[in-house]
Amino acid sequence: MTLDLSKLEYVIFDWDNTLAESRSTLVLSVNRVLKEYGLPDWEAVKSRRNPDLSFRDNFPLVFGAENAVAAYERYAEIYKREVRSHISTFPGVRDVLAFFHARGIPMMIMSNKDRRLMEIELPLLFDPQLFSRVVCGHEASRDKPYPEQIYYTLDGLLAPADITPERVWMIGDSPMDSKSAEAANALPVRIGRSIWGDEGAPDTKIVYFNNFEDFYHTLKLIK
């Protein structure tokens, strides 16, 4: 599929493993909690997760319903303490953000992440003013992979019936991002590989790039 900027109105970015390399903090933090609960490490237990649920919403499947809330709060406590030392972005991300910013195309972040964590992380990497909206988990009626989170992100800007692949791009690393985009009739752009290893079969509706540097190179070539 050929990218076309001529009708593009909004660009929505996923956060984790898209704009932010946060996996190292996530794994470090969750492994400490797993150890406290006498459970195997993340590599051993991650197969329990439901790929259509956020990391936070998978805690009942990993820790059990009776422990999920307390385990997640402990995870968030450790994560907030450790993230400053570990978070980074990826080569090419700042170039892509500068590209859209220079053209006056509004950029948004849409993540299933806990807002308490997002508000700490975002200013560690980027000027929050770059993004016209930041939507986090449990704020829309349903999160990714469902379309409601995109509708919520664009609320007051573009009606669901007016969303088209030409007008809205959803850029992320995972099938969850792409499913949400397709369900909302936005263009799914997939960068790199999912941290969960659940790539799925190639989909002709998705535009794939190995990394942000490749994406930026393609953007520069668009006439």
Q: What is the pLDDT of residue 40?
A: 96
Single-letter residue type at 63: F
The pLDDT of residue 197 = 53
Residue the block writes with tokens 């985009």: 181
The radius of gyration of the chain from alpha carbons, rounded to an integer in Å, stands at: 17
pTM of the model: 0.93
Model pLDDT for residues 15-29, shown as the tens digit of each residue: 999 999 999 999 999
Say how far apart CA 176 and CA 55 lie, in whole Å.
12
Q: Model confidence over 191-211: pLDDT tens digits?
A: 987 555 555 656 788 999 999
pLDDT at 199: 55
Those residues of the chain that have pLDDT short of 50 are none
49-73 per-position pLDDT tens digit: 998 899 999 999 999 999 999 999 9
**Two tokens, residue 42:** 């993340």
Angle at 202 between CA 217 and CA 165, to 5 degrees: 60
